[in-house]
Amino acid sequence: MEKKQFKYRFFRSLAKIMLGLILLFIILVLFIRSPWGQNIIVSKATAYIANKTNTKIEIDRLFITFSGNAVLEGLFLEDKKGDTLLYSKSLEANIPITPIAVSYTHLTLPTTPYV
């Protein structure tokens, strides 16, 4: 009888843990998809890159889709002398989500030869 109670408690605890993980995942997805969450991501990322490179970086709006596309609006990059390196009114990039989710230590970009 006590063995059945132990199994029941074990599976009940396991179900609670799984439900908690699923809820955490849903909250994370909703945070990333919300404009508020994306503004936080943009401000943290631009501040980090600007501090590392000592340059000015601005992004007006970021939108991340479920398929892994990132749409940047109002992207502005400036070099150390104050010249504009890049300005794009709208830029869409396909970002591989799997390497980020699996948390590789670094991402590598494929090199393409100039033609």
**Number of folded domains that form the chain:** 1
- Is residue 51, in this structure, part of any structural domain at all? yes
- Is residue 49, in this structure, part of any structural domain at all? yes
Q: How many Cβ atoms from other residues are within 10 Å of residue 71's Cβ?
A: 13
Question: Pairing state of beta strands 84-94 and 57-64?
Answer: unpaired
Percent of the chain whose predicted confidence (pLDDT) is above 90: 19
Max Cα distance, the chain (Å): 77
Residues in CB range of 54: below 8 A, 6 or more apart: 80
Q: What is the pTM of this model?
A: 0.59
**pLDDT at site 109:** 57
**Domain containing residue 94:** 34-102
Q: How many Cβ atoms from other residues are within 10 Å of residue 59's Cβ?
A: 20
* Dist. CA 35–CA 107, nearest whole Å: 26
**pLDDT at site 24:** 94
